[in-house]
Each structure stands twice: as structure tokens, then as C-alpha cells.
């Protein structure tokens, strides 16, 4: 029996298998209004038709100023709810679970998209905006952010709550709180970017306070949804956020209503010495899974069915998140089923003639 194709049930939602689509930024809202388009329907829909158990959206901003780039998707108004609903409806019609990643980019907001031919902060006269963070510490050569005051923190919490309510209205069954890759919640977690001396800085409990508040309001706003938290388990830098702190905060977040943890790494600081290689983040997922006693997914250069199956068989994770291999082959889940000898994979009737066996 393939572990990869065993169903998994979390908070009353059943995933048909454990090969899931990781969030992948598309930077493709050409009108700069946060509205997902036909591109997003095609991009996400192909993975659902391709047999994935969970299809997760890109980082979706809870407020306009929370976008990574002006072309990012959002969920801060009701028009966006309707646009997302047609996408989640299609994903669910193919038998996959529809998930959305709720995010705020903090000091890494208002940036050019990758193929713009320029890097850094987008200036106001080109549609950019001032950024915020835990402390006024700039990311590399980006514009310095403003330190969030208490009122600003309350707005962030309220924005996550409102986005969670809209996500449920839009038909999403999984809501992921993005606390990884150097974005706002990660900026509060790491001592490298959080230099505060108030109740949101200093001790681990204080640095985790904003994340735990966000998890709480998302859980309250979406009681029927599965709540994920994405962590960067380490900054890969001395004196930074590390896996032991991740283990402890995962315990607290689980007690506060989170159901599952999506374990990645890095992103806080440029040029961190990250030992990139096949499955390089899997040991981090295993440490969080066993250390905190929670369910986790592993992500990072997972490119074959055999590799994914071994990750689950080893007990390192409960599911795998796949990104770049899905871009190369949107039907990777169906191909994996064929390679592992799974004969009840969810092939669309229109595609059955393409089966290898």
C-alpha cells in the first residue's frame, strides 16, 4: 500500500492523498487590484485535474499593503471573494481540497515582480507603498520599514480575521497562516528582525505573540476550516530563528487552534548559507513533527514518487508539498500513482487514455 495515496483527514476534511501543491507566487494580477484571473484558474485548476490532494493558492495578501508585489492576489474585499470562489469551485469539483495561504509581506512588500528587470522597493510614483515590520530594519537594500505600533498590530490581526471569513465565503477548506520566508509574522518571530522591547519583542513568548493571536482569530473566524501554519523552521543563521523555537511555537499554535504545520526554511535574510539539495528541509519537518507532536508536511526539492513515498514511510512527515516539479508536470500526482502501482488514482475521464498501464 502506498502511503502517498492514503487519505488523510484533518478537522473533518479528508484529503484524497498526501501529495499536495505548495503555494507558488504568480505575480499576475495585471490590474494591480488583487483579483485572481483566468491565469490563476488555469494555474491552480490544472493541479486539481492532475490528481493532487490539496491545491494551495499563492501568498494572498490580507490587505493591499501586505502584498509582496503590486501584482499579487488579495482577499481584502468582497469582489475578490467572488473571483476566488470560481477557482475553489473548480478545484473542489475535481476532487481536490482547496486551500488559500493568507499572508502579509511586511518589510518585503512593495517589491518588483521577478521578471520586471529591476529589484528592490517599488517607489510611490510607480504604484508602491511604505512598508511595515516588527522593527525598522530593512531587508538588504529595500526601503526601511516603519515599526508597527500597537494600533498597527491590531489592524494586522483584524485583517487576518476578515480575510479568514472571506476565505470561507470563497469556498476554501484550508486556510494557511504564512509565518515563513521572511514575511511579516516571521519578522516578529526572529530575533534578527525583531528588536522590540514591548510585549511583542524579547522573549520567545513575546515574539510569538502576534502569530498566536493571528492563529486564534483565524480559528475563530473559520471554525469549520482546517488551519495550517507555514513556518521557516530556521533562518540558517547564528542567533536567528531555529528549529527548537519552531517546535515550541508549533506546540503553542496547536493549542491555539492550528491543525497542521507546513515546514519550510529561510527567507528572512539575503544570502543565508542554505544547504540546498534534494529533500534538504525534510529533517526540519521531522524534528517539528516529533518534537511538538503535531502533523506536518515536508517541502523542498521533492521531485520523484519514490522520494515522496520514502519521506512518508520514514515518519518524517504526514504529507509532502511539491512546487517546482508541479510546474514542470502539473499531473505529477497521477504520474506518481502510476510509478507506485496505485490503480485507483483520480484520473479525469477525459485523460484516462493517457494512463501508462
> Active-site residues: which are they?
183
Secondary structure letter of residue 12 according to DSSP: T
Dihedral sign, CA of 182, 170, 255, 215?
positive
Residue 253 CA to residue 217 CA, distance in Å, equals 12
Contact 301, 27 (CB under 8 A): no
Residue 191 CA to residue 274 CA, distance in Å, equals 18
Residue 352 CA to residue 89 CA, distance in Å, equals 22
Of 323, 180, 178, the closest CA to residue 243 belongs to: 180
The DSSP code sequence of 99-145 is EEEEE--GGG-SB--GGGS--SBPPGGGT----EESSS--STTSPPP
Q: Where are the beta strands (DSSP E) in 42-150?
A: 54-61, 97-103, 132-133, 146-147
Secondary structure letter of residue 352 according to DSSP: G
Residue 27 CA to residue 35 CA, distance in Å, equals 11
Other Cβ atoms less than 10 A from the Cβ of 292: the count is: 19
Chain centre distance of CA 84: 17
Contact 338, 345 (CB under 8 A): yes
80: three-class secondary structure by DSSP: helix
Taking each helix axis as running N to C, give the angle between helix 282-292 and helix 243-255, from 0 to 180 degrees, rounded to the nearest 10. Answer: 50
Helices (H), 63-149: 78-93
Amino acid at each position: 500500500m502506498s502511503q502517498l495515496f492514503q487519505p488523510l483527514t484533518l478537522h473533518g476534511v479528508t484529503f484524497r492523498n498526501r501529495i499536495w501543491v505548495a503555494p507558488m507566487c504568480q505575480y499576475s494580477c495585471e490590474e494591480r487590484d488583487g483579483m485572481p484571473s483566468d491565469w490563476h484558474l488555469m494555474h491552480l485548476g490544472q493541479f486539481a485535474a492532475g490528481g493532487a490532494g490539496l491545491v494551495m493558492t499563492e501568498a494572498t495578501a490580507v490587505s493591499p499593503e501586505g502584498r509582496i508585489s503590486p501584482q499579487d492576489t488579495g482577499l481584502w474585499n468582497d469582489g475578490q471573494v467572488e473571483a476566488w470562489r470560481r477557482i475553489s469551485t473548480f478545484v473542489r469539483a475535481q476532487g481536490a481540497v482547496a486551500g488559500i495561504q493568507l499572508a502579509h509581506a511586511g518589510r518585503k512588500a512593495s517589491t518588483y515582480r521577478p521578471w520586471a528587470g529591476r529589484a528592490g522597493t517599488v517607489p510611490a510614483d510607480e504604484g508602491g507603498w511604505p512598508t511595515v515590520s516588527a522593527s525598522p530594519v530593512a531587508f538588504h537594500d529595500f526601503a526601511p520599514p516603519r515599526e508597527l505600533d500597537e494600533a498597527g498590530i491590531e489592524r494586522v490581526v483584524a485583517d487576518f480575521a476578515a480575510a479568514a471569513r472571506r476565505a470561507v465565503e470563497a469556498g476554501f477548506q484550508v486556510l494557511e497562516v504564512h509565518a515563513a520566508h521572511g514575511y511579516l509574522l516571521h519578522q516578529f518571530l526572529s530575533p534578527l528582525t525583531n528588536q522590540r522591547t514591548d510585549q511583542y519583542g524579547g522573549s520567545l513568548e513575546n515574539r510569538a505573540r502576534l502569530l498566536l493571536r493571528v492563529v486564534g482569530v483565524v480559528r475563530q473566524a473559520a471554525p469549520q476550516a482546517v488551519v495550517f501554519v507555514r513556518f521557516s523552521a530556521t533562518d540558517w543563521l547564528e542567533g536567528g530563528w531555529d528549529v527548537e523555537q519552531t517546535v515550541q511555537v508549533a506546540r503553542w499554535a496547536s493549542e491555539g487552534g492550528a491543525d497542521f504545520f507546513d515546514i519550510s526554511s529561510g527567507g528572512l535574510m539575503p544570502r543565508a548559507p542554505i544547504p540546498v539539495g534534494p529533500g534538504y528541509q525534510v529533517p526540519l519537518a521531522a524534528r517539528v513533527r516529533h518534537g511538538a507532536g503535531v502533523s506536518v508536511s515536508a517541502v523542498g526539492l521533492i521531485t520523484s514518487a519514490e522520494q515522496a513515498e520514502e519521506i512518508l514511510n520514514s515518519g518524517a512527515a504526514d504529507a509532502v508539498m511539491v512546487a517546482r516539479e508541479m510546474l514542470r508536470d502539473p499531473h505529477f500526482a497521477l504520474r506518481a500513482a502510476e510509478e507506485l502501482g496505485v490503480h485507483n488514482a483520480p484520473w479525469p475521464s477525459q485523460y484516462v487514455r493517457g494512463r501508462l498501464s
